[in-house]
Amino acid sequence: MFFRKIILPSVVQKFFLPYIHTLLTTLVCSLAMTFTSYAATEEMTNIYRVSRVLMGPCTDQLRDLLHFYIHPASFPAVIQRERLRLPRLTAPQRNLILPNIGKYSGKYKDMDISLLYILLRNFCGIKTHRKGWGNTPDATDRSVSANIDRIRLARNRCGHSTCGMSKTYFKQIWSEIREAVVDLDKALGNKNKYREAVDFVRNDTMDPEMDKQYNEQLLEQMKDIETIMTKIQSLEKLTEGNENHTKQKIQTLEEQHKMQLETWKKEDAPFHEIHSFPNILDKVQSQQITTIIGNPGCGKTATARHLALQLQNNYEFEIVHVDGIKEIKKYGHPKCKQLFILDDVIGVWGFERKKLAKLDRYSEIILKVLSAHSKILLTCRKAVYNEAKILFTFKKEKYNKSADLKSLALAEELIVDLEDVKNRLNDQDRLEMLKNHYIQNGLSLSPEEQSNVPSTVGIMMYPLLCKLFCSDSLYRASGKEFFEKPHACILEEIDNLKGYKQITYASLVLCMFCPNEIAEGSFRKQDSRFMEIKTVVFKNCRVSKSDTEIIDAWNSMINTFTTRTNEGYSLIHDSVSEVLAFHYGKEHQEDMLQYMSSSFIAKKFNVNDISDNPVDFQIKLNRKHYPAFAKRLIRDLKSLELYDVFMNEALKEPCICNAFIDEVKKLSYLEIKKLFFLKQEDITKIFIRSTEKIKIVRREKKFIYEFQRQELLMGETRGEPNIRVISWVIAYGHYQLLQFLFDLVTEQKESICRVMDLKIPEESGNSYISDLEEQTRFLNLSCCNENVEVVKLIMKHYDLNCKNISLEFSSNLLLTACVVGNKPVVDFLIKCGADCNQANKEDTSPLFAASLDGHVDVVNLLIKCGANCNQADEEGITPLFAASSNGHVDVVDLLIKCGANYIEADEEGITPLYDASLAGHVDVVDLLIKCGADCNQADRERRTPLYAASLAGHVDVVDLLIKCGADCNQADEEGRSPLYNASLEGHVDVVRLFIKCGANCNQADKKGKTPLYVASSAGHVDVVRLFIKCGTDFNRPDKKGRTPLYVASSAGHVDVVDLLIKCGADCNQADKKGRTPLYDTSMAGHDDVVDLLIKCGADCNRPDKKGRTPLYVASSAGHVDVVRLFIKCGTDCNRPDKKGRTPLYVASSAGHVDVVDLLIKCGADCNQADKKGRTPLYVASSAGHVDVVRLLIKCGTDFNRPDKKGRTPLYVASSAGHVDVVELLIKCGADCNQADEEGRTPLFVASSADRVDVMDLLMKCSADCN
């Protein structure tokens, strides 16, 4: 029998019987087709017709849509950059767009619907429709993404209708497809191109045999998808099999995590919160990722851990300490409030490009797995950060989305520098820090011992020294000398360990060689590298101990020189590692050359004589190790660690270069040619390049030279990457090596120009022509070093007519040499005919570049050779501007003496004096004024030099300008005076100076905001105090009626609010909308300010002009602590606004369950409706806040109460598709069939909105289908 009798409930029979009958009829017809040779039925014709339109016009339209967003020429680059974001693809799809050889070069004609859907969804930036990608769109949603999903859904339905398609179903699907195509035609702007194609297919005569192919193609695509689903199910089963093991591992990790946090808490006991710690904490709270930088021993890790513990205790963050960026992806969860800590994010000894590459590779994934509330705290050595900053620009706007984490991790605006002017330790910080460590060690700091606290700002690694100082009486006995010469003390201690505790010394060296890699399991695993290092170190240290004794040695040094990690042990601090590397490395250089990182080799080994002072921990390389050193450089070169090899100054020493060349000679000519001259394929390991070219900012002097060199090194030729090792040899000035390589090529009877592709074949292939672009790039590279002989050698092999050519991304040779500031190179180029006044495409002249970087000898040479002192760039900026803004007073003096115009302004009206004032170069300002510059000359926005100096807080410049006649009250076009600026920025010394000089304290801008107003808004309590002492009007409002107290309250500055109230500020003075200080601070959630205002007499029940009270806005925003304060003060919980909405109503609408709970407990009326009859339960149901709905029902809310249009809570929840709310309301007795005034039931509105899950639930619960 083909069919059994099916018994269905009467309601279901009534509703579905027609559809079941149609399906059974279709199935019978299909079976008949199997056993006969009749022509295709109408049902099969229908499915063939739908398949034809989907595989034809619809697919072509999606291809056009992809073309609209991503041009085919850009597609290979886009897909390579975003490949990690690709979901699972079928093998043919992956092979098509990511072939193993070459790249995708098609025009999208070979892409099917499945692949097009994936690409459009993930890479085109198309706004997601209301229901989200992959879901059935709302019927009223006609967005691009909704229509793409409609075509996908039609394809799926067609693929599952293997027995044909009924006439009714066909009409429905065809209508949906046609409407989607019409909307997409509009989006593409191609009139009715694909609508007409769809209509043609609808009316065209069908040939069953011919059109069957479309259905078969569609079914083939569906099979591929089903294969993927089968694999996923298989993986799910495998995952289930590993569940027990995973749970056990999680438990172990949780125990380790608890132990680690306990250790952190103990170590945090002596931590002193420095004077700027509140600002650091505010910064961490305001951004998702923060990187703490500083020199070794300054307290980076301690500060990060203290911040983490604070955020855990006060803000309920879950701390997750990780050893690598990959672990953030592993442990991150989008629904958790997590705080990740990662030390040395981009390297310990030096900048490690591999680590930055990991940041790039996992950036997109990490940002997806983290919730919006989670945070990442990173630490980084300042030297490593500076090195990375030279090689990269981390401005956010320079990066595409896939590289976002790099910019977030290292962008200047997200950096906390523990040793900058804001955060540097002051004398009080040092004293308190030392006191805390004394107390932690059970000691007391006597007045005599307080003299040990050094006041020298430059003391290195003070926090670490405090810890060590208090841990040993011998250190304390050395007194102040310990702090002033810390390395000597640590070296002496390590000497003692080597002499008396060899096992401890050897164990520490082992930690140095394997940072963050040593675990107790390392011995059991027999890690080959670890065991090799252990054997070598213990042999050199003349010890032979058991594994247990090694572990005991590490434990004995915990909190002195070692610390516990997640897995095992590491040295307590980078500074200890540095001293230990220096101590061991002096005697065992061969071990350091073998096992340390390439960045350590580049930075710590020196060939020349060095002083006995080991501040830089430089190791003088022993002559007998020259060959080993050269061999290590070759090893690093083959690994493409190009920066560590060629930025190593030792390689320029003839003795080392000779040894290096001897090692190179051991390679075959083909190997040398491939290594040095040919293009490198794996360019990601060499450099991660910004997607945008680095632009020279007009006032930026730092790193311009290095940025330009990196652009030249990473340049492209005819759109293709052109990375050659020879470029590094040239750019870093290795003349001896370069001469050897050129001679070698010549000996092989090859052309240097052809080997380096400086001459390329003509189209005929019979001769070669010069590639001027590439030649110019190499010439510019030669000018990036300080060795004129490199320039001379390169120019022998190039066409002379490219000397003055400017590349798209670079400059002419003379301009490059002027940026570097090498006078001999500049002189040589001028003698060779270089034009002193030839500018690049941004109109930057050689004289401008030399002036910008302060190369006074080069400036002098250029002027003598005829350079124009007043030649301006495209923005009107002259060399004098460049020198003034960067503080090069000797260059400024020289330029003025040679005729530079110090009065002429740029296109914005800015003068050199303005620039110098803004930058705080008081000596330049003094010189310009003495030469006759006008102190009151304003720019186009009426900003004067005094205005600029005040904004930047340069009190010495402000003082000088005022003494020279600058007008203290001259305002800009917005009415902002210099005093206004200083007050806004909190420059208290500048404000004090202005007040002494008679500046108008009540001078307001065009919006009515006074200096006191903006100081209050910004929270500068010392500035506010100054103004109050001077008798400034503290109740004066701006043009919107907001007073200083109002804006201070709104911003949460409780100390400013307290000061203003004590001085008589009116707590109840409202703005023009009727909002008081209490109203605004309640809306912002500043509970401490709310508490203070209430205690000082603020009216808790005073509403704004819309009837909203402070309690109302606090409830709406979800500030439960503020709500609690109002209730304690007896505020009316049920007072509605002018639309009848109560605090409980708005809290329920916004889903603030804790506020709702508190209001109900304090007497809020659950059934009080607004003027449209909508209750708190109604709006909570409409918004889908199931927890609020549950709470309101428990408190006795009427769940069947309709609004004035007859719509119940169940009605609006059904309409919005909140299935969990619908289920809860039904369980509690809500009437499924209660209709609105137009007779529409919950089932009706759910059906109209295509809420399938809600419809199913309502029908199961006996909703009337008719």
pLDDT in tens, 896-947: 999 999 888 888 888 999 999 998 999 999 999 999 999 999 988 999 999 9
Helices (H), 872-933: 879-885, 889-897, 912-919, 922-930
Contact 434, 270 (CB under 8 A): no
Query: How are beta strands 318-321 and 720-721 bridged, if at all?
Result: unpaired
Helices (H), 931-1003: 945-952, 955-963, 978-985, 988-996
For residue 853, the tally of other CB atoms under 10 A from its CB is 22
Between 807 and 2, the higher pLDDT residue: 807
Contact 460, 295 (CB under 8 A): yes
pLDDT the model gives residue 784: 86
Contact 1257, 1226 (CB under 8 A): yes
Give the best-scoring range by mean pLDDT among 95-104, 334-343, 686-695. 334-343
Residue 643: pLDDT band with limits 50, 70, 90: confident
Give the three-state DSSP class for 1215.
helix
Residue 18: pLDDT band with limits 50, 70, 90: very low
Question: Of all residues in the chain, what percent carry a pLDDT higher than 70?
Answer: 81
pLDDT the model gives residue 402: 35
Residue among 1117, 1125, 1034, 1112 at smallest CA distance from 1075: 1112
pLDDT the model gives residue 977: 94
Give the best-scoring range by mean pLDDT among 325-329, 710-714, 780-784. 780-784
Q: pLDDT tens, 770-805? A: 667 778 888 888 888 889 999 999 888 775 555 555
Least trusted range by pLDDT, from 3-17, 174-188, 368-382: 3-17
For residue 767, what are the CA distances in angstroms to 682, 759, 760?
A: 31, 10, 8
Contact 1026, 993 (CB under 8 A): no
Return the ∠ at Cα 601 (arms to 596 and 606), rounded to 5°.
140
pLDDT the model gives residue 979: 94
Least trusted range by pLDDT, from 199-213, 619-633, 970-984: 199-213
Residue among 23, 8, 14, 13 at smallest CA distance from 168: 23
Residue with structure tokens 């917005």? 974
pLDDT the model gives residue 371: 75
Is 460's pLDDT higher than 60? no
- Rounded to whole angstroms, the Cα distance separating 97 from 106 reads 9
Q: pLDDT tens, 413-453? A: 789 998 888 888 888 888 888 888 888 877 777 776 666 56
Give the best-scoring range by mean pLDDT among 262-276, 353-367, 851-865. 851-865
pLDDT the model gives residue 393: 44
pLDDT the model gives residue 1178: 96
Contact 1230, 1200 (CB under 8 A): yes
Contact 836, 830 (CB under 8 A): yes
Residue with structure tokens 């989200």? 132
- State the angle between helix axes of 1143-1150 and 1176-1183 in degrees (0 to 180), rounded to the nearest 10: 10
Give the best-scoring range by mean pLDDT among 208-212, 214-218, 270-274, 1057-1061. 1057-1061
Contact 698, 773 (CB under 8 A): no
Backbone angles phi, psi at 341, to 5 degrees: -125, 130
Please compute the mean of the pLDDT values over residues 314-338 and round it to a whole number. Answer: 83
Could you name the CATH architecture of 254-424? 3-Layer(aba) Sandwich (3.40)
- State the angle between helix axes of 955-963 and 922-930 in degrees (0 to 180), rounded to the nearest 10: 20
Least trusted range by pLDDT, from 346-360, 633-647, 921-935: 346-360
Is 1166's pLDDT higher than 90? yes
Is 1009's pLDDT higher than 90? yes
Residue with structure tokens 């080993």? 628
Q: pLDDT tens, 1171-1227? A: 999 999 999 999 999 999 999 998 889 989 999 999 999 999 999 999 999 999 998
- Rounded to whole angstroms, the Cα distance separating 1086 from 921 reads 41
| Residue-by-residue DSSP string for 1025-1045 | HHHHHTT--TT---TTS--HH
Residue 646, CB-side half-sphere exposure with 13 Å CA sphere: 25
pLDDT the model gives residue 761: 65
For residue 765, what are the CA distances in angstroms to 385, 431, 760, 762, 813?
A: 49, 78, 9, 5, 31
Structure tokens that stand for 484 in this block: 């002033």
- Rounded to whole angstroms, the Cα distance separating 963 from 960 reads 5
Is 687's pLDDT higher than 60? no
Structural domain boundaries of the chain? 7-38, 40-235, 254-424
- Rounded to whole angstroms, the Cα distance separating 1163 from 1132 reads 9
- Rounded to whole angstroms, the Cα distance separating 1079 from 1069 reads 11
- Rounded to whole angstroms, the Cα distance separating 261 from 257 reads 6
Residue 476: pLDDT band with limits 50, 70, 90: confident
Between 253 and 1095, the higher pLDDT residue: 1095
Query: How are beta strands 338-342 and 375-381 bridged, if at all?
Result: parallel
| pTM of the predicted protein model | 0.58
pLDDT the model gives residue 456: 44
Residue 1124: pLDDT band with limits 50, 70, 90: very high
DSSP-assigned beta bridge partners for residue 558: 562
Contact 311, 399 (CB under 8 A): no
**Residues with Cβ < 8 Å from 1228, sequence gap 6 or more?**
1193, 1199
**Residues with Cβ < 8 Å from 963, sequence gap 6 or more?**
none
